[in-house]
Amino acid sequence: MLLKHLDTLLASFLGMAAVIYLTQHGGLGISPDSIYYISAAHSVREGHGFMQFDDKPFVLFPLVYPSFLVLVEFICNKDIVVVAPYLNACLFGLTIFFAGAMLEKMNLRKGVKWVLLALIALSPSLLEIYTMLWSETLFITEIILFIWVCFYYFKSSTTKNLILLAVISAIAADTRLAGVTVIATGSLLILLSHDKKGWAKWKHIIVYSIISSSLLAINLLRNFLVATSFTGARQKGDTAFLTHVKYFGEVMGDWLLFSSIPHFNALGLGLVFILLIASIFIYRYLKNKEHNSFEKIAACFTLVYSLFMLLSATFSKYETINNRLLAPFFIPLLFTIGFYTISFIQWVKQPQWKYIFIGLFAFAGLFSVYSYYKGVEAMQAENKEGGIGGYGDDDWVYSDLLVALKKDGNYFNQGIPVYANASHAVYFFTKRHLAILPETKHTEDLQKFYHMPQNILIWLNNEDNPSIDSLEEIKKHKNLTVLKQFKDGFIFLCTPK
């Protein structure tokens, strides 16, 4: 049994080694989102519930990932930042193993399986995720588990399998808000299933919908009760749908190595990809192809997730569609490519053409593996000098201002509010709670800051955040008295003009 999955185990160890290799200088990358998760986990361990570093309720993200971090901290009895590289390596290895086991059940040729495993283990797309302290690390693993359980549910639609599918979906939906796509995928597949008819089908849909949405519903209700907001302050989208399709196509171009082709058309690739995945799913449904196949479940999830990201980015403003947002369907995409590559070769009847296509696909696969390997090398060359980008890199670790704040916390004990233009970084290095400098668009909060009788402002020069007012703009509203100056910033006492 173990020998059957030896190639999968080797790929898992390769992926784990890649994560450790890329994080050996400074550990995982730490972004502002990471700080929200870390502070919420610390707050829970200290007995204060899910609070974030600015002493406000943690509502911007769902609760499963910080709860997972608390569990890991409790088991290891170490700060999550210390154990996170090994945690992410284990999650990545587990994801690769489950993906490889699926590929084995898909009965792909060994060569195709090995190429796909190598592409997963050496994927710059996935390694970008698993070298950061982000909830996507857990979410991607949950998606692979969802596809597994979905396969077994449609193979045997028992109540036990239905409940297990719903529980996995519930956890995924409360790990990231985009996890609602897992609920939608499960519901759509059950609805379109040919196995059950009438009330039997609707009973499964109702049970699945109630259980799968339960954790997220409880989470949102809790958010509203503690902060009168379901998901925190979010802005309306101001970017056209087709522009997001273009961004989508750019990410796909990077994954499929099309970006380097002269006159590459990202918008065209994005549109063609969405139409192709939709056509595949519709074709298989009309041909009465059942859902107990990994490639069909993967294609359905890819379609639902892609449309959700494009539409949500259009109606709600957040970061530009990028690899981080789309990485959750990278492995399902490889499943689809691998399956239809084999199907196409089997469809070709003339031997000479069959061998030509086998040669072309083999070359494309091996070239992709080599390109991904070179991509990992480029990542390491960038990381080894100063660490992974974010608050864990050397520019922040050796900041004069932050080193001084770690040693002297008196500025936080003077009974007046403390703000910073990089409050996430200040909390990360000092574990001191402080307020977030309001963004320019949040005019009401910004005016409260400007009219405060007195506060301390920590200003770090290496923080580039165009969403907040510049120091020059703040000086128009506040008298800034320098309490201490550093090579990389200032500590001001602020009073209104």
The predicted pLDDT at position 292 comes to 63
Residue 118: closest CA among 282, 441, 362:
362
Residue 307: closest CA among 273, 256, 257:
273
pLDDT at 291 over 60: no
Mean pLDDT is lowest, of 96-100, 285-289, 440-444, 458-462, for: 285-289
The CA R_g of the chain, rounded to the nearest whole Å, is: 25
Residue predicted with more confidence, 155 or 237: 155
pLDDT at 381 over 80: yes
- Average pLDDT rounded to a whole number, residues 443-455: 93
Binning pLDDT at 50, 70 and 90, where does residue 229 land?
confident
Pairing of strands 455-460, 418-420: parallel
The predicted pLDDT at position 3 comes to 66
Mean pLDDT is lowest, of 15-24, 65-74, 330-339, for: 330-339
- Average pLDDT rounded to a whole number, residues 374-393: 90
The predicted pLDDT at position 231 comes to 85
Residues 123-164 have pLDDT tens digits of 999 999 999 999 999 999 999 999 999 999 998 889 999 999
Q: How far is CA 392 from CA 10, 31, 418, in A?
A: 30, 8, 22
Distance in angstroms (rounded) separating the CA atoms of residues 64 and 60: 13
pLDDT at 118 over 90: yes
Percent of the chain's residues with pLDDT above 90: 74
470: three-class secondary structure by DSSP: coil
For residues 253 and 269, the answer to whether their CB atoms sit within 8 Å is yes
Both tokens of residue 226? 């503690």
Both tokens of residue 428? 């990360």
Instruction: Give exposure, 238-276, as e/b (b: 16+ Cβ within 10 Å).
Output: eeeeeebbbbbbbbbbbbeeeeeeeeeebeebbbebbee
Both tokens of residue 109? 């040729």
Distance in angstroms (rounded) separating the CA atoms of residues 441 and 413: 30
Binning pLDDT at 50, 70 and 90, where does residue 289 land?
low
- Average pLDDT rounded to a whole number, residues 365-374: 96
The predicted pLDDT at position 357 comes to 87
For residues 75 and 2, the answer to whether their CB atoms sit within 8 Å is no
- Average pLDDT rounded to a whole number, residues 300-319: 91
Element (H, E) at 235: strand 235-236
- Average pLDDT rounded to a whole number, residues 268-294: 82
pLDDT at 303 over 60: yes
The pLDDT mean for the chain works out to 92
The predicted pLDDT at position 458 comes to 97
For residues 214 and 170, the answer to whether their CB atoms sit within 8 Å is yes
Residues 58-67 have pLDDT tens digits of 999 999 999 9
For residues 231 and 59, the answer to whether their CB atoms sit within 8 Å is yes
- Average pLDDT rounded to a whole number, residues 172-190: 96
Both tokens of residue 402? 């932050």
Spatial CB neighbours of 275, under 8 Å, sequence gap ≥ 6: none
- Average pLDDT rounded to a whole number, residues 434-463: 93
Residues 34-59 have pLDDT tens digits of 999 999 999 999 999 999 999 999 99
Give me the amino acid identity at 92.
F
Distance in angstroms (rounded) separating the CA atoms of residues 113 and 37: 36
Q: How far apart are the first and last CA of the chain?
A: 75
Q: Show me where the domains of the chain are located.
A: 234-347, 398-496
Distance in angstroms (rounded) separating the CA atoms of residues 43 and 493: 28
166: three-class secondary structure by DSSP: helix
For residues 317 and 235, the answer to whether their CB atoms sit within 8 Å is yes
The predicted pLDDT at position 2 comes to 61
Mean pLDDT is lowest, of 152-166, 265-279, 342-356, for: 342-356
